[in-house]
Chains A and B, each alone.
Chain A
Amino acid sequence: MLGASQADRRLLPEGRLAGPMPWVIAIMMFLTALAAAAGLAMGDAAHRLGGDLGRQVTVQIVAADPGVRDREADAAQHVLANQDGVSGLHKLGGDEMQALLQPWLGDAGLDRDLPLPAMIDVDLTDAGRARLDRIAAALVVAAPHARIDDHASWLAPLVALIRSLGLLAGGIVAMMVGATAAAVVLAARSALNTHRQTIDVMHMMGSTDAQVARLFQRRLALDALFGAVVGLVGAIVVILGIGRRLGEIGSGLVGSITLPWTAWAALLALPILAGLLALAVARITVQRALARTL
């Protein structure tokens, strides 16, 4: 459909048909790509938070007597190791505990006598997550001072927030598609007005509507594609910049916001979709305008 003969090409004057349309589309593509990237990254992050972190629990054994605490910690590890659905166990050692507490207590505050709970990080499989209640019940029998800290319970609101931000981004992308179509309609109408005389003459010589539409749709689609590529390049520069900043922060949660390769592929497909959208919209606009003439 994009192919046009030399003759077709010459029927309209050289140069841009679309006026400012490509730049409007460039701006919209820039915003669309940012919104889409944000949405895709959010979706990915929510998925992985809900997945990896959501399948972790921490078992704390809070007992003042170090003897009781160590005994129950060993018992708890033993019980957990024999439960279905537990895929990994890791008891935090003294150094790790110190590293965790150091931001709050400082170097000086750490003291051998400070009664710290024993902590065991537990990785669960999906099946393990489902039977967390039963694992907890078994655990309490062996280690009465054990408490289970379920990461999913404090992650859930965060995951929900991230999900709704992702939906918002999707909504913005949908609105941008509508605005892009509107920009193409305006450009097509103005191109039709500008070239009204040429179209009239072609009609009088027996041009079909499809022949006339072909002249416009190809040029308008290429103009839209040009704008879309410009906008996308700008957006990619910004996305890479933000990605580097996020990487520098390097914290667990923020660090989990990245773009998977499927998201990159979706972003790169946007200009092609914009071009096809412009092609279809221009064709429909021109044909409908022509249908009103004799």
Chain B
Amino acid sequence: MAGIVQFENVGLRYGTGAETLSDLSFSLAQGSFYFLTGPSGAGKTSLLRMLYLSQRPSRGSIRLFGEDVVQLRRARLPGFRRRIGVVFQDFRLIPHLSAFDNIALPLRIAGVDERDLVTPVREMLAWVGLADRASARPPTLSGGEQQRVAIARAVIGRPEILVADEPTGNVDPEMAARLLHLFDALNTLGTTIVVATHDIHLLSRVASANVMRLEHGQLQDPTGALRYPPRADAEGHG
């Protein structure tokens, strides 16, 4: 089966300097759980941005859900983005909206009826432990609370891919474990999960997870599990 995400010889260059990321070739299997690690500045956020269609690669091809998204017409991008949930490293909550409205945003953008979104949003608030902060605005929330709102917003639309950039950076270990449990539960329901983190303690928390390691702009692939095209023994060519 072809991966839900396929990078082939992808390179990314900001401005005119050296490539921040080069020769990325990998394939992510649908329904799997991936950690993306690497030192600060290695390019994790950059890789994820290409994955959630906020940055075009300088070269190479990216396929999502079986379609080339590098050459995609602008008008088709929203359709792809609605299938991807993103937890941004810097949260990007909308400051004048309450926690409830921030979490409801993806549903409203997708055109869900107001009556139909109250229950799921309330459930989601409860799940991330913020049931009593529904009407609080982000500036009045702690860093960890904001992060949980950001996570709730990313998963409320039941995305096929969930991309999370340092989703546990601001929470205590106990909350980090709970959030990972939430991701794991989503993964069980079929969502493909990609979590960037430099917290190596997290890696062992999800037994089934694959680990991708970025260093010096290149993907280290000790196991070969991510290689694309897959090895000859896996797919029969290459």
Residue ranges of A at the interface with B (Cβ–Cβ < 8 Å)? 5-7, 10-11, 13, 197-198, 200-209, 211, 291, 294
Contact = CB atoms under 8 A, between A and B. Distances in A.
Interface in B123-170: 157
Contacts of B106: 205-206
B105 A197 contact: no
Given A203-B81, A207-B78, A209-B74, 16 more contacts: A7-B104, A11-B94, A13-B96, A197-B92, A202-B109, A203-B78, A204-B52, A204-B88, A204-B92, A205-B86, A205-B157, A206-B77, A206-B81, A206-B109, A294-B55, A294-B74
15 contacts: A6-B114, A7-B114, A201-B105, A202-B105, A204-B53, A205-B157, A206-B77, A206-B78, A206-B81, A207-B78, A209-B74, A211-B109, A294-B54, A294-B55, A294-B77
Contacts of B104: 7
B92 A207 contact: no
Contact of B82 (A10, A11, A205): A205
Nearest to A14: B96
Interface of chain A, helix or strand or loop or mixed?
helix
B165 to A, nearest CB: 12
Interface in B39-92: 52-56, 74-75, 77-82, 86, 88, 92
Contact of B53 (A198, A207, A294): A294
Contacts of A202: 105, 109
B105 A205 contact: yes
Nearest to A8: B108
Contacts of A13: 96
Nearest to B92: A201
A206 B107 CA distance: 10
A206 B110 contact: yes
Interface string B174-188: 000000000000000
B96 A204 contact: no
B53 A200 contact: no
Contact of A204 (B56, B81, B101, B157): B81
Contacts of A205: 81-82, 86, 105-106, 109, 157
A10 B97 contact: yes
Contacts of A208: 75, 78
A284 B106 CA distance: 25
- What interface size band does chain B fall in? 20 to 34
A209 to B, nearest CB: 8
A283 B134 CA distance: 33
Given A7-B114, A204-B86, A294 B56 contact: yes
B54 A197 contact: no
Q: Which 8 A-B pairs have the closest CB atoms?
A: A206-B82, A206-B81, A206-B78, A7-B108, A13-B96, A205-B106, A208-B78, A201-B92
B122 to A, nearest CB: 16
A5 B115 CA distance: 13
Contacts of B78: 203, 206-208
B140 to A, nearest CB: 16
Contact of B101 (A10, A203, A206, A207): A10
A208 B111 CA distance: 11
B134 to A, nearest CB: 14
Contacts of B55: 294
Nearest to A201: B92
A208 to B, nearest CB: 5
B28 to A, nearest CB: 19
A153 B101 CA distance: 75
A201 B94 contact: yes
Contact of A198 (B74, B82, B88, B94): B94
A197 B88 CA distance: 13
Nearest to B56: A294
Given A197-B94, A201-B94, A211-B109, A291 B52 contact: no
Nearest to A293: B74
A208 B97 CA distance: 20
Contacts of B75: 208
B102 to A, nearest CB: 9
Contacts of A294: 53-56, 74, 77
Contacts of B53: 204, 294
Nearest to A13: B96
Contacts of A198: 94
A7 B78 CA distance: 19
Contacts of B54: 204, 294
Nearest to A10: B101
Contacts of A203: 78, 81
A291 B75 CA distance: 10
